[in-house]
Amino acid sequence: MRSLTAEDVERAADRIAPHVLRTPMIAAEGRLAGRAAPLHLKLEQLQPTGSFKLRGATNAVLQLSAAQRRAGVVTASSGNHGPALARAASRLGVRCVVCLSQMVPANKVDNVRRNGGEARIAGKDYDEAVAESKRLECKHGLVRVHAFDDPGVIAGAGTVAREILEDLADARTILVPLSGGGLLGGMALYAKARAPRVRIVGVSMARGASMIESLRAGGPVEISEEPTIADALGGNIGLDNRWTLALVRDLVDEVMTVSEEDIARAMRVLFEDQGLVVEGAGAVGVAALLAGTSPAPDGPAVAVLTGRNVAPDRHRSVICGA
Ligand SMILES: *Cc1c(COP(=O)(O)O)cnc(C)c1O
């Protein structure tokens, strides 16, 4: 198997540039500013479809052969990869089927449909949705584009690191939300090759941190998926994990978890002090800083805000402290 390099991330950046937003990075204000070192927020939640996942999905779809485009694509999604793949595919006239478990919030199912995908509710958790996507791959000859354990998706996600380092060459610490590890692995791949002094930190929710458990165990383990405010971080890395576990294990400096309360507080502070609507999964980096889980950075730090797809009612109840 060919290995992934920073050049793959650079090629991905050129490939996807016409199709994705080059997101702004802003200085943190209010309770997030004035700490030991400046904090910057990379606003990936502004991406079309509402999450960074458009990068990886677009990079994967643009590399399909003509025959694969005719066949169509299928995936399983915890809610943000699905709409991203649907948008990338439908813009090229490619059919896209997205398998979502019953745990996926309704706003995310709608987001698949709004972006031209066929949403299929299958299974009680992410793993069962993955099984359904594999079944459809075999039965209908659809091309499966995994949400994170796919070299095209990883290289596309890694382009976030390239933009951060272009905008802030002296970045010292980058905090990255962590689920399957496509984003963290891709960003670490690029950053460690191009700016090795940068500390790359992965943050998961304490409730069901599959990658972190797998790192501890020395191989992929399965844990049960629980409801969490960071729903987009749910699901296992897969016992058949090929790419992301090795990338995260070899290249990432540190991983940590945050509680549901810490995530809710970060969503509140981002809204009240910055006017930003960020879903739970996108707020975990800020949560780690506010809670002191991540030690105060010793130089300019960046938190990647990965998504905004939280239903308005749910967001309101978090903001109101319910
Ligand atoms: C998918 C997702 C993540 C985690 O990405 P992985 O590549 O699975 O680690 C983080 N935040 C949001 C909003 C996501 O949708």
Q: Tell me: the pLDDT tens digits for 125-137?
A: 999 999 999 999 9
Interval between CA 282 and ligand 1 midpoint (Å): 8
Residue with tokens 């990079």: 59
CB of 307 shorter than 6 A to ligand 1: yes
Cα–Cα distance between 78 and 76 in angstroms, integer?
7
Cα–Cα distance between 261 and 291 in angstroms, integer?
10
Pair 49, 115: CB distance under 8 Å: yes
pLDDT tens profile 220-253: 999 998 899 999 999 999 999 999 999 999 999 9
At 37, the pLDDT band (50, 70, 90 cuts) reads confident
At 296, the pLDDT band (50, 70, 90 cuts) reads confident
Cα–Cα distance between 99 and 78 in angstroms, integer?
9
Give me 121's structure tokens: 């509710």
With the C-alpha atoms ordered 275, 280, 283, 288, is the resulting torsion angle positive or negative? positive
Cα–Cα distance between 156 and 21 in angstroms, integer?
13
Q: Is 53 exposed, middle or buried (0-12, 13-18, 19+ CB in 10 A)?
A: buried
CB of 208 shorter than 6 A to ligand 1: no
Q: Indicate whether 1 pLDDT > 60.
A: no
> Which residue type occupies 15?
R
CB of 232 shorter than 6 A to ligand 1: yes
pTM attached to this predicted model: 0.97
CB of 175 shorter than 6 A to ligand 1: no
pLDDT tens profile 105-149: 999 999 999 999 999 999 999 999 999 999 999 999 999 999 999
Per-residue model confidence (pLDDT) at position 297? 80
Question: Bridge-partner residues for 194, per DSSP?
Answer: none
Rounded mean pLDDT of 183-196? Answer: 98
Q: Indicate whether 312 pLDDT > 70.
A: yes
CB of 9 shorter than 6 A to ligand 1: no
Q: Is 144 exposed, middle or buried (0-12, 13-18, 19+ CB in 10 A)?
A: middle
CB of 309 shorter than 6 A to ligand 1: no
> Which residue type occupies 214?
S
Pocket test for ligand 1, best of 81, 284, 306 (most atoms within 8 A of CB): 306
Residues contacting 213, CB < 8 A, separation 6+: 221, 223
Cα–Cα distance between 284 and 178 in angstroms, integer?
9
- Which atom of ligand 1 lies nearest, measured to the CA of 79? 15
